[in-house]
Amino acid sequence: MTPTTTNHHTPILYMGPIRGGTDHIYRNTFADHFDGYDLAVAPFINCIGTNKIRRKYVKGLLPENNTGMPVIPQILSKSAEGFVLLANYLTDMGYDTINWNIGCPYPQVARKQRGSGLLPHTDKIRQFLDTAIPKLHGDLTIKTRLGREHKDELFTLIPVFNEYPVKEIIIHPRTGKQMYEGIPDVEAFETCLSMCKHPVVYNGDIRTADDFYRLSGRFPTITRWMIGRWALVDPYLPMVIKTGKESTTNKIEKMKTFHDDLYNQYTRVLHGPSHIIDRMKGLMMSFSLAFKENKKALKKIKKARTPEQYEAVVHHFFDEEAVWKY
């Protein structure tokens, strides 16, 4: 692994939003154990129309719950009015930038013309920006894909974005229909980049430092990069990318300590052992991908029913079985 890039900027790395993965507990705990990320975009919250917003609704975004790293809240909405209400509420809480999610690929979201479902509707996006932007108290960034069905949907939209004071555009170069299948279309990303007047953040399939160096060599003007799933698998990745150095010794031990800290934090905030175990099992499904020969251990972890069983199988895995893949 060598940084063969001609891109000499120190990359600015964003923790990608993974709903059910990168919540505030995870973000804070990550920052206590690992370096490398400069900021996080939080998983989306839904806009709730013109209903009164209660603090409880934005609990995961309360500044006192987000001390680990700078955060940009994200809202999923097709209604400019609802978006503005929620965004300004968050700005009043101290966030100067809010991200608009028009990339979510899930059919139940997209069918309602939200997330990537909005991408074929240039006129609706224009209306949204026309209404929302003058009323927003803070800055707006956008997270998007190439389109819902076709990549040229974003080619049509970028000239629209160019007309508005959008702070940056985060592009995951797949269509919504693709979900997470196939290879990110870097040619289409390149076209978007050449068309876009706003700063662009690249996002998609940075699994290793070599992936990053390949991409940053190809896109020397990009300074901002978002990593989602693959740092949830290998939390050392952002730091390795930043420093160009293969990380640290005792990786497995440190991973176990990170796991245990997460477990303790979730035990404090989640109610009932099954919620805690389910949350941790979800994280372990990601973590386990960083290890070789993990199938047997995973099976046992999935079967655990009580905290005691869960702790025993996970500790056995980290202490006796885990072999780091990277």
Question: Using CB under 6 A as the criterion, which residues of the chain lie in contact with ligand FMN when the complex forms?
Answer: 16-20, 43-44, 74, 101, 103, 143, 172, 203-206, 227-230
Q: Is the CB of 229 or the CB of 256 nearer to ligand FMN?
A: 229
Q: Is the CB of 14 or the CB of 318 nearer to ligand FMN?
A: 14
Find the shortest distance in angstroms from Cβ 20 to ligand FMN.
Answer: 6
Q: Is the CB of 302 or the CB of 305 nearer to ligand FMN?
A: 302
Q: Is the CB of 206 or the CB of 277 nearer to ligand FMN?
A: 206
Q: Is the CB of 44 or the CB of 95 nearer to ligand FMN?
A: 44
The answer to whether 287 and 251 have CB atoms below 8 angstroms apart is: no
The answer to whether 53 and 83 have CB atoms below 8 angstroms apart is: no
Find the shortest distance in angstroms from Cβ 72 to ligand FMN.
Answer: 11
Taking CB atoms, the residue at the shortest distance from ligand FMN is 228
Find the shortest distance in angstroms from Cβ 117 to ligand FMN.
Answer: 14
Torsion over CA: 289, 291, 296, 298 (sign): negative
Which class for 250: exposed (0-12), middle (13-18), buried (19 or more C-beta within 10 A)?
exposed
Find the shortest distance in angstroms from Cβ 251 to ligand FMN.
Answer: 21
Integer angstrom CA distances of residue 229 from 54, 162, 235: 31, 29, 10
Find the shortest distance in angstroms from Cβ 290 to ligand FMN.
Answer: 14
Contacts of 17 (CB under 8 A, 6+ apart): 40, 41, 42, 43, 44, 74, 143, 228
Q: Is the CB of 68 or the CB of 313 nearer to ligand FMN?
A: 68
**Among 190, 202, 103, 179, residue whose Cα is nearest residue 147:** 103
| String of DSSP letters for 262-282 | HHHHHHHHS-SHHHHHHHHHH
Find the shortest distance in angstroms from Cβ 295 to ligand FMN.
Answer: 21
**Cα separation of 219 and 243, whole Å?**
19
